Amino acid sequence: MPYNVDKIIFPQDFKYIEVIKVGKPTHQKYDSFYLKHPPMKLSKRAKIFSPFDALKGFDEAVQSKEVLYVPKKELNEDEMRELNIQLNTLHNLTANSKLARENNIHAEITYFVPCMDIENENYLVKGSYVTVSGIVKKVDPIINKIIIIEDIKILIEDILYIYYTDIDN
């Protein structure tokens, strides 16, 4: 015959029926068990049930949607002229790898990075500005129209601002 405990029916061969019959332990306040294991505060108990990252990368995907993208700024003639002067100077200082090592030019470049999230409405339309700094390895304003700083290739058309110094001086 099946067991009936608190209106729950268990099969006759259920091996934990004795444990269920005994029920939840009760402790008197300030007995030895209570003093050794006081009840957990509700604020701490809630942390036990806090969510965990079951979907790896989901939080990052949500955060990528929260990025505030801006349109690419078009440089005026004066800004474009100044940028070209700086690029030509950097090109002359880093015309080959030997010159680049000898001159050891440190630059800080702010450039436009378009939104590359294909599911975002700003995909390739808007983007954000990033600033990197490091040693200028190469400037190619004519053929590839790039500048390489450390190992980062930057399209010259995306550059907003360049600041550079000679490290040795």
**What DSSP assignment string belongs to the chain?**
--EEETTEEE-TT-TTHHHHHH-S----TTSHHHHHSPPPPHHHHHHHT-----STTHHHHHHHHT---BPPPPP-HHHHHHHHHHHHHHHHHTSSHHHHHHH-EEEEEEEEEE---TTSTTTTT-EEEEEEEEEEEEEETTTT-EEEETTEEEEGGGEEEEEEEETT-
- Structural domain boundaries of the chain? 3-48, 77-166
The per-residue pLDDT for 31 is: 82
Determine the pLDDT at residue 167.
57
Report the distance separating Cα 127 and Cα 157, nearest Å: 14
Burial of residue 31 (CB within 10 Å: 0-12, 13-18, 19+) is exposed
Among the CATH numbers 3.30.450, 2.30.30, 2.60.40, 3.10.20, which is that of 77-166? 2.30.30
pLDDT band at 72 (very low <50, low <70, confident <90, very high): very high
Query: Mean of the pLDDT values across residues 152-168?
Result: 88
Does 168 have pLDDT greater than 70? no
Predicted pLDDT at 10? 80
Examine the pLDDT at 6 and tell me if it is beyond 60: yes
Q: In the prediction, which pLDDT does 50 show?
A: 67
The upper half-sphere exposure of residue 69, i.e. CA atoms within 13 Å in the direction of its Cβ, equals 19
Tell me the pLDDT of the chain averaged across its residues: 85
Determine whether 117 is exposed, middle or buried from the number of CB atoms within 10 Å of its CB (0-12, 13-18, 19+).
middle
Averaged pLDDT, 68-87: 94
pLDDT score for 44: 77
Asked if pLDDT for residue 153 goes beyond 80, the answer is: yes
| pLDDT at residue 62, rounded to an integer | 74
Gap between the Cα atoms of 123 and 138, Å rounded: 29
Tens-place pLDDT, residues 10-66: 888 888 888 877 877 777 777 888 888 887 787 777 777 666 667 777 777 777 667
In angstroms, rounded to a whole number, what is the distance separating the alpha carbons of residues 79 and 71?
Answer: 18
Of 43 and 78, the one with more pLDDT:
78
